Amino acid sequence: MNDIDVLLINPIDDTAVKNGLGLKIPPLNLMYLAAALENASITVKIIDDDLYQAGFDKITNLASKIDPKVVGITATTATIKNALEYIKNIKKALPNTLTVIGGPHPTFMPYETLKSEKTLDAVVIGEGEETIVDIADNARKNLSGIKGISYRNDDKIRKTPSRPLIKDLDSLPFPARHLVPFKSYELSSQAGGMITSRGCVFSCNYCSSSLIMGKKFRTRSPENVVDELEELSYKYGLKEVAFLDDIFMLNKKRAGMIADEIKRRDIDVSFIASSRVNNVDKRLLESLKDSGMSTLYCGVESGSQRVLDLMGKGITLKQAENAFKIAKNVGIDVVGSFILGYPGETVEEMNQTIDFSIKLDPDYCQYSILTPFPGTPIYYELKHKGLLDTENWDRYTVINSVINYEKLGLSKKLVEKKLARLILNSIPGQSMF
């Protein structure tokens, strides 16, 4: 018997596209949950099996020795099958342990996830810091009073009222990075990922961010953000950090204040940050560069204005050109993201996207095939029209086609072939896949 109350597991992601560069990175979401548990005096352990690649049997044996009250696993759409396999094995070995899954996929498909695996007890919906603490406090009691979950009760699946979004992000403790073997990860900006804001005010049809974290843009104070940046620099010795916000520069004044605070404390660290192309501002970029910003990430997605409008992207091609020009003039590297195969797109428009990505001349490109993840408007639209080729979640990897393109007047093989050629040829600069 061990004194660990909660065991958190990051499942193996054998799709090889966990992130654009294929690097192993610490599970930031689990480190946030672990920090919240520790803050509530609940003992917790993290096992990152995507790092260890130990597999179901070895992790089950380890869980048996720990004998926690709660086992929690995170899951994306591409990892849900693996995540449920851990649950099944662990529940067989530890029938009295409460099994929980959270993450993007179960958040949008709680009923289906619980129905698909009888040994799963509960699903956390949305933000999990407060919810996991409540679950740990009530692990062997009635779960009906816990907001923000779906759970199994007498072979029936029930859903509790939604949990309000966390208003004060400064109140959250920094991720529990001490619970993972930090030096075992690739020493890149992704390893030093941090989140300075949550929520997105936009509604792109292919994205679920605003639905998971809310339509309101919630932010941490500049002081709180730079406190964590100091920890990453001085405690963990990182020289590169990635701000993993959906849109770091949405509030330009706040982004500028973060830059000023970094300069005031004289922190020697370079960082990557994201912006919509219509939010790129020369003066702000200059200030951010002076504070250490090295790379700007922009989701351009298409070289066709018609397709951008279909996506609900809310930007223009001219704005994209201006943003990339400004970044280059300031001397900041640019990463451009591009999507092929959006429903309704023509072969000519795909070629326009490829040509546009070359014209913009980013330092890195991230190419993908439109993947309609559960929770996104495009998923429900395609499902309603019978245009999903498969709901085998293993194939939802952003490099495989899961749409019946033939019914849309496109060839599935053609879309995949165009993506493969882009990846192989690394056009332009370097491909991130």
Give pLDDT tens digits for 200-214. 889 899 998 877 887
Q: Which fold has domain 6-155?
A: Rossmann fold (3.40.50)
- Sort 422 into a burial class: Cβ within 10 Å, 0-12 / 13-18 / 19+: buried
Rg from Cα positions in the chain = 22
Q: What percent of the chain has a predicted confidence (pLDDT) above 90? A: 84
Q: How far apart are CA 390 and CA 328, in angstroms?
A: 41
pLDDT of residue 124: 98
* DSSP state letters, 184-199: GS--STTTTEE--EE-
In the predicted model, is pLDDT for residue 362 greater than 50?
yes
Per-residue pLDDT averaged across 247-271, rounded? 96
Amino acid, single-letter form, for residue 375: G
pLDDT of residue 20: 45
pLDDT of residue 139: 76
Specify the residue for token string 């990175």: 25
pLDDT of residue 52: 93
pLDDT of residue 388: 97
Backbone angles phi, psi at 21, to 5 degrees: -95, 0
Per-residue pLDDT averaged across 273-300, rounded? 96
pLDDT tens sequence across 79-119: 999 999 999 999 999 999 999 999 999 999 999 999 999 99
Closest C-alpha among 325, 318, 267, 265 to residue 296: 325
pLDDT of residue 190: 60
Per-residue pLDDT averaged across 280-297, rounded? 97
Of residues 372 and 426, which shows the higher confidence score?
Answer: 372
Q: How far apart are CA 266 and CA 269, in angstroms?
A: 9
Q: How confident is the model at residue 423 (pLDDT cuts 50, 70, 90)?
A: confident
Contacting residues for 14 by C-beta, under 8 A, at least 6 apart: 82
Under 8 Å between Cβ of 27 and 180: yes
pLDDT tens sequence across 34-46: 999 999 999 999 9
The CA angle 97-73-148, to the nearest 5 degrees, is: 85
In the predicted model, is pLDDT for residue 427 greater than 60?
no
Backbone angles phi, psi at 339, to 5 degrees: -115, 130
Q: Which of 24-28, 85-89, 424-428 has the highest mean pLDDT?
A: 85-89
pLDDT of residue 21: 47
User: What is the Cβ-side half-sphere exposure of residue 12, based on CA atoms within 13 angstroms?
Assistant: 12
In the predicted model, is pLDDT for residue 14 greater than 90?
no
Q: How many residues are given for the chain?
A: 433
Please tell me whether the peptide bond between 343 and the residue prior to it is cis, using omega within 30 degrees of 0.
no
Q: How confident is the model at residue 172 (pLDDT cuts 50, 70, 90)?
A: very high
Contacting residues for 183 by C-beta, under 8 A, at least 6 apart: none
Lowest mean pLDDT segment, chosen from 13-22, 42-51, 91-100, 249-258: 13-22
Cross-strand bridge partners of residue 152: 157
- pTM, full prediction: 0.94
Q: How far apart are CA 285 and CA 289, in angstroms?
A: 6
pLDDT of residue 433: 44
pLDDT of residue 429: 52
- Sort 316 into a burial class: Cβ within 10 Å, 0-12 / 13-18 / 19+: middle
**Architecture label for domain 187-431:** Alpha-Beta Barrel (3.20)
In the predicted model, is pLDDT for residue 23 greater than 80?
no
Q: How far apart are CA 358 and CA 80, in angstroms?
A: 35
Lowest mean pLDDT segment, chosen from 28-42, 163-177, 181-195, 345-359: 181-195
pLDDT of residue 187: 59
Q: How far apart are CA 30 and CA 12, in angstroms?
A: 14
pLDDT of residue 215: 78
Closest C-alpha among 339, 296, 295, 303 to residue 320: 303
pLDDT of residue 1: 45
Boundaries of every domain in the chain:
6-155, 187-431
User: How far is CA 173 from its chain centroid?
Assistant: 19
Per-residue pLDDT averaged across 154-166, rounded? 93
Contacting residues for 18 by C-beta, under 8 A, at least 6 apart: 24, 25, 50
pLDDT tens sequence across 114-147: 999 999 999 999 999 999 999 999 876 789 999 9
Q: What percent of the chain has a predicted confidence (pLDDT) above 70? A: 94
- Sort 46 into a burial class: Cβ within 10 Å, 0-12 / 13-18 / 19+: buried
- Count CB atoms within 10 A of the CB of residue 64: 14
